[in-house]
Amino acid sequence: MKRLVPFALAAALLASSGCHLFSKKKASTTPKESKTVAADVEKDFMARWIEKRTNDLESQGRSPQMAHDQAVAEFRAEFTFTEAAKQAR
């Protein structure tokens, strides 16, 4: 009887201490992110790069449309490995 009490107390402590030993719920190992994060980042990068380059070209005296067209062409040539470059307009 004296040996049973410590084991019963240990079992009760283990079960009630918040231990997830007996929990059926598994912790998720993958982050819950959108599947399009990479595409969104590329599109944002493309838009900002083209806007900055367009502004640089306009400050050098090019018309806004010519500057934009040249910036898009440069983006396509420089970043051919991105999906955004293939979709650049």
Tell me what pLDDT residue 69 has: 96
Residue 30 lies in a domain: no
Tell me what pLDDT residue 30 has: 66
Number of domains comprising the chain:
1
Residue 71 lies in a domain: yes
The three-state DSSP-derived secondary structure of 14-67 is HHHCCCCCCCCCCCCCCCCCCCCHHHHHHHHHHHHHHHHHHHHHHHCCCCHHHH
Question: 13-56, pLDDT tens digit by residue?
Answer: 666 656 565 566 666 666 666 778 888 999 999 999 999 999 99
Question: 55-74, pLDDT tens digit by residue?
Answer: 999 999 999 999 999 999 99
Residue 21 lies in a domain: no
Residue 60 lies in a domain: yes
Residue 76 lies in a domain: yes
Residue 26 lies in a domain: no
Residue 64 lies in a domain: yes
